[in-house]
Amino acid sequence: MRLTKPALTLFFTGTLGYASSLAVYQDYSFYTYTPQINFIGFTQNVDAKCDGSTLSLVPMLNCPTSSRLCQVLSTAESTKETLNVVTANTKVLEQFISLPQPKSINAKTWIASAKLLGKEEATLAKKKLYLSKKLQQEKMLFSKQAPSEEAKESAKSCAKNLELALPYGQVSFSTSYEANIEEKVISVTQYLHITNASGVDIQADVANFYYRSAKQYVQPIHFSPWIVSKYVPRPKRMAKSKSRRLFEEDSLPMMSMSMESAVEAPLVEPVATYEDAREYKINNLTLPSSGVPLDVKVLTWKTALECEIKAYPYANASAFEVCSFTPKYQIDDNRWKVLTGSEVINEKAIGEYREKSYDIYTKVDDDIQIEREAIVQRERETGIFGGTARKKDGFTLTLTNKSNKIKTLTIVERIPTSSTTEITSKLLSITSKKKVKYTMLKNGEIEMPITLAANESRKIEVLFELSYDKDIKVKY
């Protein structure tokens, strides 16, 4: 179908005056608008409805030349046509070279002809290689923008609302966060990243994005009483001979067979769906089918922030900065970009909810070096008193501040904790040349606030004791 220039102008500019909407879910997207022409786009597996009635989509021989995707595809087709011409010329040249040679040869003429043929053959080969690569790139570029190279149009005109149901993946979105940390205040900016690769350029007056599925299968459940009754043992069944069993099965009435087949099948377990109040809305959204994410700022808010350096030497030898705050809005994704002013601290920081606050693990502090070593068990420290064995054990921590600045951090350590009354564990001591303040928490957790002077190295010794019956073997 060929379109006149006035008609195309009406389509690409006039449609903005009509109400249109986009709803993006995790499994489907729905684009509703009032079309001015039948051209839909380079779609695939798309269902169309005109004012609620199903509408067929059929292939087009010629797409509108003013369509952006049509221009991209036309460029690839032009390259393909040029490549075909070069390929045909190469074959003709090869056939010409293979023709029978004349019996009498003029050496000079033959040499000149050979040079000319060789140069032309090399030129065609080079051009063919270039065009092949160019065509591959253009095809790949188009495939990232649309699922099909076949343009589609509606089988008949739709003067009212046309709804396109786009399957999973053709229009998608994700969310990300950016944190700017300055002077105990965090500025949080949330972004939506929207990608359209449906083959349909979208212009929506209102666009809504939902972190839930459009199709949710919830199995109906009705109350059923929980019955308690007197237990009556079942009578023992008498074993039947094979011949008697076959006779009884053959003599069953047809009604019994039909009743068995009519027994209701067990209820299918409900399909688990992810449901949340996370919903986004954008007005006047222009979303071309480019396959390139469109980044849209959602909101920005500030709140108080507390940062500290923590280390868990029993699990990791690195100290890291963790910043905590109380979110003003629900955090939907735990991937963060962290900045201080214009300086990027971490492109891929991780965050998580911790009780009522939210923590972002911003960076590793490379200035702090931590070494943890088990204390070699000494036989003289292990004894048996009556029927109880007592075993002393422990470890040493060596903390080094390699920077020229004072460092304050919290060390989180542990001693064994017992899950049975037959084994008891207790902390004996935490010692160092400088006094160490510590707090003993539940489940053997120990918190130690430590301040290290510039270039200071400190050694801390932690000792604990296990008590258990001498006949028990313990592991930890």
Q: Ranked by mean pLDDT, which of 3-12, 51-60, 361-370 comes out on top?
A: 361-370
The shares of helix, strand and coil residues in the chain, as percent rounded to the nearest 5, are 20, 40, 40
For 305-328, how does the pLDDT look when each residue is reduced to its tens digit (9 = 90+)? 999 999 999 999 999 999 999 998
Determine the pLDDT at residue 415. 93
Q: Is the pTM of this model over 0.75?
A: no
Determine the pLDDT at residue 227. 67
Q: Is the pLDDT of residue 228 over 80?
A: no
Q: How far apart, in whole angstroms, are the C-alpha atoms of residue 181 and residue 340?
A: 5
For 327-346, how does the pLDDT look when each residue is reduced to its tens digit (9 = 90+)? 988 898 899 999 999 999 99
Hey, is 216 helix, strand or coil? Answer: coil
Determine the pLDDT at residue 385. 57
Closest CA to 300 of 422, 187, 166, 176: 187
* Segments making up each domain of the chain, as ranges: 68-101+111-143, 368-469
Q: How far apart, in whole angstroms, are the C-alpha atoms of residue 176 and residue 195?
A: 14
Hey, is 388 helix, strand or coil? Answer: strand
In terms of CATH architecture, what is 368-469?
Answer: Sandwich (2.60)
Determine the pLDDT at residue 346. 95
DSSP state of 148: -
Q: Is the pLDDT of residue 430 over 90?
A: yes
Q: How far apart, in whole angstroms, are the C-alpha atoms of residue 162 and residue 326?
A: 44
Give 240's pLDDT tier (boundaries 50, 70, 90). low
Percent of the chain past pLDDT 70, that is, above it, reads 81
Determine the pLDDT at residue 230. 57
Mean pLDDT of 137-164: 91
For 368-424, how does the pLDDT look when each residue is reduced to its tens digit (9 = 90+)? 999 999 986 653 345 555 678 888 999 999 999 999 999 999 999 999 998 888 888
